[in-house]
Amino acid sequence: MTLFFERNRLNPFANLTGILLMAVMMVGLFYVAKGLFWLLAKAAIFFLVGALILHYPTVLGFFKWLWNMLRQNVLQGLVLTALSALLYPVVFTVLFFRALLNRKIARIERSIRTSQQGEFVDFEELESTLQTRKRRVEPAGAMTEDPYKDLFE
């Protein structure tokens, strides 16, 4: 066993295969990321429209946040705006999935609220005028005699 380690230590090209394998993997990851970015760039407009349809306050909130960053710290706001413009496929994809998540959360909150408070039911008002309600109410003196008085004699 010591002979094996001795032999590797003397070989100057022993680490070359590891370095080459790592370089091939890095190049492969670069092309995978490049292809994924290209695919997201083609679908970016659909992601933005989908985010606007699903939950538009999410998209508005992002742009308001970007505007507030520009107003508070100009340099940081410019850097974030430039990065958002440069990486728009990733930003629109994240906005789409955030809008999807916010819509799901809103639906769950609405279902919890309706289960706790109940649903509002539309009703039709039957007596809409004051005259019809007054006609239905009996005069106050009509009920002077107690119907239960003969039960307790």
pLDDT tens for the chain, 153 residues long, are 555 555 556 666 767 888 899 999 999 999 999 999 999 999 999 999 999 999 999 999 999 999 999 999 999 999 999 999 999 999 999 999 999 999 999 999 999 988 888 777 776 666 556 666 556 655 555 555 676 776 775
Cβ–Cβ contacts within 10 Å for residue 138, how many? 8
Residue ranges of domains in the chain: 42-116
For the chain, helix, strand, coil in percent to 5 are 80, 0, 20
Considering the entire predicted model, what is its pTM?
0.63
Chain centre distance of CA 15? 48
Place of tokens 């997201």: 40
How would you class 92 by CB atoms within 10 Å of its CB: exposed for 0-12, middle for 13-18, buried for 19 or more? Answer: buried
